Structure 1
Amino acid sequence: MKTKVIMVRHGETEWNVLCKFLGSVDIPLNEKGRRQAGYAKEALKDEKIDVIYSSPMKRALETGEIIRGNRPLPILEDDGLREICCGKWEGLTGKEVEERYPVQISLWGNHPEKIKIEGGDTFQEVSDRITETFWRIVDSNRGRTILITSHMICLTLLMMRFIGTDISEIWEAKPIGNAALNIVEVTDDDIAEIVSWSDDSFVPEEDRKGSALVAGRHDAGKESDI
């Protein structure tokens, strides 16, 4: 029997709008983010969900709470689902990081596998953490349908693991929009079959615009947090 895992990126926050690196900073959704989570709730209204896990960060928890709706399920917080920590870059726009840390921002864009932000995580550390967390959750819930609310970089790195893509290619991977669904079915012999990757087709165009951009990778005024 397959185990179905539905992974949702959190909705938008004000730091998306302000084009800042968010990472481990714990701020809630904005109104647009709540609408986006509501669209995901509607998209999943007929889905039988057996268990819900979330990053302990407010933006992910709030997304999970909105999607849960009236389902009589607790939301299980798991620290392994946290976003990458961007250390000293957090609170800065991509342009500000470029001015203060030009060598590092070049690595971020061109050699992400080599970047180590002061006070932050490497992509490899996050990849290892989210992969271990995913399989631990699956092993505890075989044959069930699992909902996970987490973050862009975490979920992107996990999906890349499933298809065997190197961290150096993270910016070529399909970016995950706010409230987008990433669905994986796991077989009994631990093959992760991707059903959907960043499906946000249920989000109206006006609330989808700009939701999959990344700080430090897109021009000022259009950047999004991670």
Structure 2
Amino acid sequence: MATRFILVRHGETTWNREGRYQGQIDTPLSDFGKWQGERVAEALKNIPIDACYASPLSRSYDTAVMCARHHGLAVTADDRLLEINHGEWEGLLASEVAARYPDLLEKWRTTVVDVKMPGGETIADVRDRAMAAFRDYAVRHGGQTVLVVAHDAVNKAVLCSILDIDLSHFWQVKQDNTCINVFEYQDNGRWRLVLMNSTAHLGFLFSGIEQRGL
């Protein structure tokens, strides 16, 4: 019997709106982000969910709590779901990163795979730790439905991994705030994608929003 995962990105933060690199800085949800969290929680309230995990950063953890309370579940924080460590870029506006690190930023936004921000980590590092978490959840919750609330880079890396596509496709995957993804870990050991970047609960099929601090 397949193990089903519902993977959600956290709600909006003020830094998302400003185009500021957050990384592992613990930025809270904006008022709009809280509204988004309530909307995704409402969308999932009638879906049977057996366990809930989240990044310990409050923007993800608080989004998860909104969802989990409809199911009487506690949220387990897992450091392996932390957003990518942007190192020295964290706290900077996209325009400031562009001015200080133009060549590295261009490489990050194109080749992505082997790019490591000063003092940070690579997207492969994120993929490896996040997928280790999902493999653990699949064993622990075989045949159940698991809600995971994480971050843009984490979600994209995971989706590339379950589709068995190279991380060079990272920028071809979009993750809006509080989007819903659904995928399964099947008995044959393969992953199957069911739904990606759904934002219907927010009132639109697609957002058209392009965030800069990514």
- TM norm structure 2: 0.95
Asked if structure 1 preserves the Cα contact closer than 8 Å seen for 2:45 and 2:71, the reply is no
Unaligned runs of 5+ in 1: 215-222
Deviation at 1:114, TM superposition (A): 2.4
Deviation at 1:45, TM superposition (A): 1.6
The yes-or-no answer on 1:93 pairing with 2:102 is no
Alpha-carbon separation, structure 1, partners of 2:155 and 2:199: 15
Match of residue 17 from structure 1: 17
Match of residue 176 from structure 2: 177
Deviation at 1:167, TM superposition (A): 1.4
Aligned amino acid, residue 198 of structure 2: D
Match of residue 192 from structure 2: 193
The yes-or-no answer on 1:113 pairing with 2:113 is yes
Q: Tell me how many residue pairs correspond in the alignment.
A: 213
Q: Percent identity?
A: 31
Asked if structure 2 preserves the Cα contact closer than 8 Å seen for 1:107 and 1:114, the reply is no
Aligned amino acid, residue 122 of structure 1: T
Match of residue 202 from structure 1: 201
Deviation at 1:155, TM superposition (A): 0.8
The yes-or-no answer on 1:82 pairing with 2:65 is no
Deviation at 1:209, TM superposition (A): 5.5
Match of residue 39 from structure 2: 39
- Over the residues paired in the alignment, what is the CA RMSD in angstroms? 1.5
Deviations 1:151-192 (A, max 9, x none): 1110111111111221122112x2011000110111112211
Alpha-carbon separation, structure 2, partners of 1:92 and 1:29: 18
Superposed counterparts of 1:128-139, under 5 Å: 128-139=128-139
Alpha-carbon separation, structure 2, partners of 1:68 and 1:131: 22
What secondary structure does 2:202 align onto? Answer: coil
Asked if structure 2 preserves the Cα contact closer than 8 Å seen for 1:127 and 1:158, the reply is yes
Alpha-carbon separation, structure 1, partners of 2:147 and 2:95: 35
Unaligned runs of 5+ in 2: none
What secondary structure does 2:20 align onto? Answer: coil
Alpha-carbon separation, structure 2, partners of 1:187 and 1:106: 38
- TM norm structure 1: 0.90
Asked if structure 1 preserves the Cα contact closer than 8 Å seen for 2:2 and 2:186, the reply is yes
Alpha-carbon separation, structure 2, partners of 1:128 and 1:48: 28
Aligned amino acid, residue 105 of structure 2: I
Alpha-carbon separation, structure 1, partners of 2:208 and 2:37: 15
The yes-or-no answer on 1:61 pairing with 2:42 is no
What secondary structure does 2:88 align onto? Answer: helix
Deviation at 1:204, TM superposition (A): 2.4
Asked if structure 2 preserves the Cα contact closer than 8 Å seen for 1:21 and 1:91, the reply is yes
Deviations 1:199-226 (A, max 9, x none): 1122124x9562xx34xxxxxxxx2x44
Asked if structure 2 preserves the Cα contact closer than 8 Å seen for 1:178 and 1:208, the reply is no
Alpha-carbon separation, structure 2, partners of 1:128 and 1:68: 26
Asked if structure 2 preserves the Cα contact closer than 8 Å seen for 1:10 and 1:63, the reply is yes
